[in-house]
Structure 1
Amino acid sequence: MQAFLIATGLVALAEIGDKTQLLAFMLAARFRRPWPIVLGIFVATVLNHAAAGALGSWLTGVIGPVALRWILGLSFLAMAGWMLIPDKLDEDEAPKPGHGVFVTTLVAFFLAEMGDKTQIATVALAARFPADFIGVVAGTTAGMMLANVPAVLVGGKLAQKLPVTLVHRVAAVIFAALGVATLAGVGEGLGF
């Protein structure tokens, strides 16, 4: 349950103002059909984060515990820094309609999430909580949906009211705290 809650909170915060959230706004404005967009985001996220979680879980078996602790700790600290850099969606990343709203959303979201902050966070969280793969993937997916469903349903009205810089700073602090705790070995004897 701890992995689920941490993953949900971190990804929900990290997703605010992220390029995939900007993509959700764009899809909502372009297609004006929220439920196929929400379903496309969900399926793309589950597929993408399951693969990222599997990679993170695999890494725990390949890399020794001391090296893994350093890699994860430094990765969380790097994520903290990355959170402070605003994202933007380039025009060439804009979805091209042609295969229906659901398929367009699924493909656009899956591709936009490749190498994105939340995907990399999923890899790191799965490596940090190797015994709770399902909790991590469910949590990161829930975090994505918490951030993106309102973006699709409410659109630009919500985007203008969120203090994106403050949200990113809070997420950066949480990532940094997780990085320092990981480097310090906090929780090693407790199984996480």
Structure 2
Amino acid sequence: MEAFLSSTLAVAIAEIGDKTQLLTLFLVARFPAQRMAIILGILISTVINHGISALFGAWLVEWVPENWVPWIIGLSFIAVGLWVLVPDKDDDEEGGALKYGAFIATCILFFIAEIGDKTQIATVILAARYEDALIAVVVGTTLGMMLANVPVALFGGWLMQKIPLHWVRWSACGLFVLLGVASLTQI
């Protein structure tokens, strides 16, 4: 129970004001009628990401050369930032991003956004601390992520009526690029 409660609390607090909350807001603005698909996408991508983190995080840190980590994280952040700027095509256009829908977009974007994030690192650390309770750690960190992002998914639409989508898109891009540059400057 300690592993579950510690994991839930640590990630819920770490997630407040995190880039994935901005990503949730962006997704709600893009898919306003599909909040439950967004929430399910957050859940699935978090379970997968945090599960991998709990099982393989310590191994990856041990085997990946230390000087590669900032490059991988930094370039991933910049790529996501630039992707956010690409406007979606109309629903009926062949090959448009919308044919994949809110669920797939959320799964992909959340998974990428969590790479190297403080909640992913917290999951690795918590898994090392509670190595006999990996399931409790993954369930706890996932619950913490949901506690922080579900309210944004449910009520973010109201906020988006007040804020233009292009402002959110550029803000999200700026945040991801800034995080990428910050990672790269640690090289």
Report the TM-score when normalising by structure 1. 0.62
Contact 1:57–1:130, Cα closer than 8 Å, also in 2: no
CA-CA distance at 1:48 after TM superposition? 0.3
| CA–CA distance in structure 2, aligned partners of residues 58 and 91 of structure 1 | 28
Q: Indicate the SS of the match to 2:133.
A: helix
- Which position in structure 2 is the counterpart of 1:92? 82
Check 1:93–1:144 CA distance in 2 against 1; reply closer, same or farther (3 A cut).
farther
CA-CA distance at 1:55 after TM superposition? 2.1
Structure 1 residue 115 corresponds to structure 2 residue 116: yes
Structure 1 residue 52 corresponds to structure 2 residue 42: no
CA-CA distance at 1:125 after TM superposition? 0.5
Structure 1 residue ranges, 4+ long, deviating more than 4 angstroms after superposition = 56-59
> What are the within-5 Å matches in structure 2 for residues 33-48 of structure 1?
33-48=34-49
Contact 1:42–1:145, Cα closer than 8 Å, also in 2: yes
What is the identity, as a one-letter code, of the residue corresponding to 1:123?
V
Q: For residues 25-70 of structure 1, give each alpha carbon's deviation from its aligned partner in whole angstroms, at most 9, with x where no partner exists.
A: 11011111100000000000000000000025768xx8xxxxxxxx
- Which position in structure 2 is the counterpart of 1:101? 102
How many corresponding residue pairs? 133
Q: CA RMSD in A?
A: 2.8
Contact 1:9–1:143, Cα closer than 8 Å, also in 2: yes
Q: For residues 117-149 of structure 1, give each alpha carbon's deviation from its aligned partner in whole angstroms, at most 9, with x where no partner exists.
A: 101110111001101000000000000000000
Check 1:102–1:114 CA distance in 2 against 1; reply closer, same or farther (3 A cut).
same
Check 1:49–1:157 CA distance in 2 against 1; reply closer, same or farther (3 A cut).
same
Contact 1:8–1:141, Cα closer than 8 Å, also in 2: yes
Report the TM-score when normalising by structure 2. 0.64
Structure 1 residue 3 corresponds to structure 2 residue 6: no
